[in-house]
Amino acid sequence: MNKIYYLLLITLPFAQQLDPVDVALDELRTVVETASRSNQRVFVDDFTGLL
Amino acid sequence: MLDEFPGTLISTEWHSPGYTPGDSDFEECYYYDNFGGCYGARGNLFNVGGIPHTEWNGEYDLTGGWANGNWEPAYDYFIGFYNQLIGSETPYDIVINGFKDGLTVNYDITVSMDDDHSSQNQKVEIIVVEDKIMSYWTGASEYHNARNVARYWISTEDLDISSAGESQTFSGSFEIDEEAWNPDSVKIISMVQNYGNYHVHQVQELNVNEFDTDQDGIMNNEDNCLSEYNPEQEDIDGDGMGDACDPCDNANIFVPGNVSGDLWYYDDTSLEPTVLVDVFDVLLLAEIVELADEESCGYEAGDMTGEGDVNIIDVIALASFIMEGAF
């Protein structure tokens, strides 16, 4: 039983650790998604004026 | 400003019939199937009172006139609105495409999303405008090049999509009023607008003469295959019909005389085939003449006299050529 506790104590901290490569990919994905998002154009309703 | 920011600044002019001088090329705008009513319907969205009045993406507005039609003092206001709104992120993109057949315009407007956004109160407006109408403006005592004057407010549709990657297409058709509109200057304007706060989330415009139905980068009026993607526009026989949609290669196969399109290989070592013209071509040409089958590939190949018309004389001529060993 003690062996199982030891194993859990050793394993849990590492299980929460993200691979640095994954972090970098997430950052890259965020940058790419932001860059590819649509840009707003501007629409003017002109009510019988001069534009 | 429209010329200063082409493609990113899009306008529609809603003109008040009461303000419009009688000697200008202005007509009432069709609101759905009803003649007139556009100005009131659109103006009521924004509680437009005094004119001139501008609404910038439904978020900013400016009301008031300028003495003698001198609009230039308004520029500083307008450029501020534009810079506040342009380029911010929006989940929506709009692509306008379609096909124009004479005065009939068939359109497809596709709204796509690259991020999530609630569809509550989201509408798609579809408006036909006529650009650049020279008109005499009594308030300014001068002629004015009116831009993108609303001619036909076709519809306001519900936008049902709400997640990244989704798209929705709105299709329809309308007739260009040739007597009232200049067909060269007719555009479709479409926008995504929230009917809760009237903010415009995206907008797009396209002249109906600039459709690119097959989206190969070649506009329809210059495309040698309207519905086939062929950006290189290959046309091996130079007949104006691109290879991608031309079933008849009149340069190498359906050459004069080879009505059936038969090819002949001399032997297994020959890589280049030659055309085969024989009595079967005569029989087939006779059938084409009898049926007046102008659509078949053999029709053009059977014009032995080169007069642009295929008839019994061509059949006789082809038979004579074969008998003389011309092929």
Per-residue model confidence as pLDDT tens digits over B62-95: 887 666 666 777 888 899 999 999 988 999 999 9
List of chain A residues whose C-beta atoms are within 8 Å of the C-beta of residue B147: 46, 51
User: What residues of chain B score a pLDDT lower than 50?
Assistant: none
CA distance A39 to chain B (A): 5
> Rounded to whole angstroms, what are the CA distances from B159 to B118, B169, B191?
10, 10, 11
Q: What is the 3-state secondary structure (H, E, C) of chain B?
A: CCCCCCCCEEEEEECCHHHCCCCCCCCCCEECCEEEEHHHHHHHHCCCCCCCEEEECCCEEEECCCHHHCCHHHHHHHHHHHHHHCCCEECEEEEEEEEEECCEEEEEEEEEECCCCCCCCEEEEEEEEECCEEEEECCCCEEEEECCEEEEEEEEEECCCCCCCCEEEEEEEEECCCCCCCHHHEEEEEEEEECCCCCEEEEEEEEHHHCCCCCCCCCHHHCCCCCCCCCCCCCCCCCCCCCCCCCCCCCCCCCCCCCCCCEECCCCCCCCCEECCCHHHHHHHHHHHHHCCCCCHHHHHCCCCCCCCCCHHHHHHHHHHHHCCCC
pLDDT of amino acid A11? 46
Which tokens in the block code for residue B296? 């078949």
Strand partners, B95: B110
CA dist., res. B304 & res. B35, Å (int): 57
Q: Cβ contact (<8 Å) for B65 and A44? A: no
CA dist., res. B234 & res. B240, Å (int): 10
Q: What are phi and psi of A28, to 5 degrees?
A: -65, -40
Strand partners, A42: B9
Q: Is the ipTM beyond the 0.95 threshold?
A: no
Is B159 in contact with B38 (CB distance < 8 Å)?
no
CA dist., res. B313 & res. B302, Å (int): 10
Rounded to the nearest angstrom, the gap between the alpha carbon of residue B73 and the centroid of all alpha carbons in its chain is: 36
Handedness of CA B185, B188, B193, B197 (dihedral sign): positive
CA dist., res. B118 & res. B59, Å (int): 19
What tens digit of pLDDT does each residue of A2-50 get?
444 444 444 444 445 556 566 666 666 655 555 567 899 999 999 875 4
Q: Is the peptide bond before B256 cis (omega within 30 degrees of 0)?
A: no
Is A45 an 8 Å CB contact of chain B? yes
Interface size A-B, in CB pairs within 8 Å, comes to 126
Instruction: Residue B19: name the closest of B73, B71, B65 by CA.
Output: B65
What tens digit of pLDDT does each residue of B205-216 get?
999 998 888 888
pLDDT of amino acid B179? 83
Which tokens in the block code for residue B281? 């071509």
Is A35 an 8 Å CB contact of chain B? no
Q: Cβ contact (<8 Å) for A48 and B191? A: no
What tens digit of pLDDT does each residue of B175-233 get?
998 888 889 999 999 999 999 999 999 999 999 998 888 888 888 888 999 888 999 99
C-alpha angle B224-B182-B17 in degrees, rounded to nearest 5: 145
Residue B280 makes CB contacts below 8 A (sequence gap 6+) with: B260, B262
Q: Cβ contact (<8 Å) for B202 and A47? A: no
Point out the residue among B51, B69, B91 whose CB comes nearest to the CB of A38. Answer: B91
Point out the residue among A33, A34, A44 whose CB comes nearest to the CB of B9. Answer: A44
